[in-house]
């Protein structure tokens, strides 16, 4: 296969932990041609969605890639285009999804589907599954959030557009800074945010559960917060511990997996604290390398095998009986 990965600048990717690097290594190990581009290189010329991109020679060590001189390719000429650009989902990101949507209409296979990347905010998507969600309020009104705090006494507030734990605060009724925090997060009532009842189970980790083309990866990655911290995100200093799925984890994942597949979400990362779903990540879910290192389960190989199966359904070519590597 000929695979294009749309990623952040290659030089900034950390080969020991980045899931996009793991995907590209797994693709190369299976003999596939790997190409990389950034969203700024997408274009439409003569009515065809294209990108400037370079072919990569991918390696297993820290000096993990060599790029050839770039050329311009039609996106529909790749067997799959994997969108792996990190949030925020800002204007530039949304414009990139529109260009990818044009490519999709011309026959390109885009993972995840551009419409899904636009339609499902990673915080708000959980509201499609209220049976798994802790008490939640979405509002820009500080008074509404104050009433929510009075009702639940201990809450988390967070912006809807950030990642990696950025902008997340824990508020209690005795917090002297609560008004200032809410004014800042809501931009004095102009920006909608999310408030949720605080979940003490965060001490046991914010669990990442991966879904790949409707299949549930059998290991969760629990991100354990630092002492005195309420955020388990690895970007906020949390430590990662792979663990088997609990019965509740499996119930949540098995419920969401067919929904995700139906909506063109090839790869999703569910965040679960205790028994409650807190996010559905669709832009650039991570955790591949940590799970593989700690359990031996090669998530990246599973991901590439799922792409192969999808391409075989589209083209009629039979896939290999098992993932390589």
Cβ 307 vs Cβ 1: under 8 Å: yes
Q: String of b and e for 48-73 (b: at least 16 CB within 10 Å)? A: bbbbebbbbebeeeeebbeeeeeeeb
Q: Between vectors from CA 69 to CA 283 and to CA 97, what angle results, nearest 5°?
A: 25
Choose among 173, 188, 61, 195: nearest CA to 123: 195
Among the listed residues 212, 303, 314, the one whose alpha carbon sits nearest the alpha carbon of residue 30 = 303
- The Cα 286–Cα 63 span in angstroms is 21
The secondary element (H helix, E strand) that includes residue 67 is strand 65-67
Using CA atoms, how far residue 10 sits from 34, 230, 309, 310, in Å, is: 13, 31, 27, 26
Residue 143: which residues within 8 A CB-CB, separation 6 or more?
none
Are the beta carbons of 207 and 220 closer than 8 angstroms? yes
Alpha-carbon distance of 73 to 48, in angstroms, equals 10
Report the candidate in 125, 113, 121, 120 with the shortest Cα–Cα distance to residue 82.
113
CA 125 to the chain's CA centroid: 12
Which residues have a catalytic role annotated? 123, 158, 208, 223, 231, 271, 279, 281
| Nearest-angstrom CA–CA distance, 76 and 306 | 19
């Amino acid at each position: 296969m000929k695979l294009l990965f749309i990623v952040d600048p290659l030089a900034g990717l950390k080969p020991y932990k980045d899931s996009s690097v793991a995907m590209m290594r797994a693709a190369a190990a299976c003999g596939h041609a790997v190409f990389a581009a950034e969203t700024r290189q997408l274009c439409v010329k003569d009515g065809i969605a294209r990108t400037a991109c370079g072919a990569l020679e991918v390696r297993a060590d820290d000096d993990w890639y060599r790029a050839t001189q770039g050329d311009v390719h039609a996106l529909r000429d790749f067997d799959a285009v994997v969108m792996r650009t990190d949030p925020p989902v800002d204007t530039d990101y949304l414009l990139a999804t529109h260009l990818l949507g044009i490519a999709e209409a011309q026959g390109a296979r885009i993972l995840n589907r551009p419409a899904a990347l636009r339609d499902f905010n990673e915080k708000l998507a959980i509201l499609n599954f209220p049976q798994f969600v802790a008490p939640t309020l979405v509002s820009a009104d500080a008074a509404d959030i104050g009433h929510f705090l009075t009702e639940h006494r201990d809450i988390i507030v967070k912006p809807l557009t950030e990642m990696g734990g950025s902008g997340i605060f824990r508020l209690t009724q005795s917090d002297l800074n609560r008004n200032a925090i809410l004014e800042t997060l809501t931009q004095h009532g102009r920006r909608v945010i999310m408030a949720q009842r605080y979940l003490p189970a965060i001490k046991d980790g914010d669990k990442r559960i991966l879904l790949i083309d409707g299949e549930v990866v059998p290991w969760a990655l629990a991100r354990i917060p630092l002492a005195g911290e309420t955020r388990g995100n690895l970007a906020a200093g949390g430590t990662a511990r792979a663990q088997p799925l609990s019965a509740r984890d499996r119930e949540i994942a098995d419920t969401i997996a067919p929904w995700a597949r139906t909506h063109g979400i090839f790869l999703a990362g569910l965040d679960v604290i205790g028994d409650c779903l807190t996010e559905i990540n669709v832009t650039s879910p991570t955790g591949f390398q940590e799970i593989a290192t700690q359990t031996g389960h090669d998530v990246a190989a599973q991901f590439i095998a799922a792409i192969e199966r999808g391409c075989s359904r589209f083209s009629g070519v039979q896939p290999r009986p098992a993932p390589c590597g």
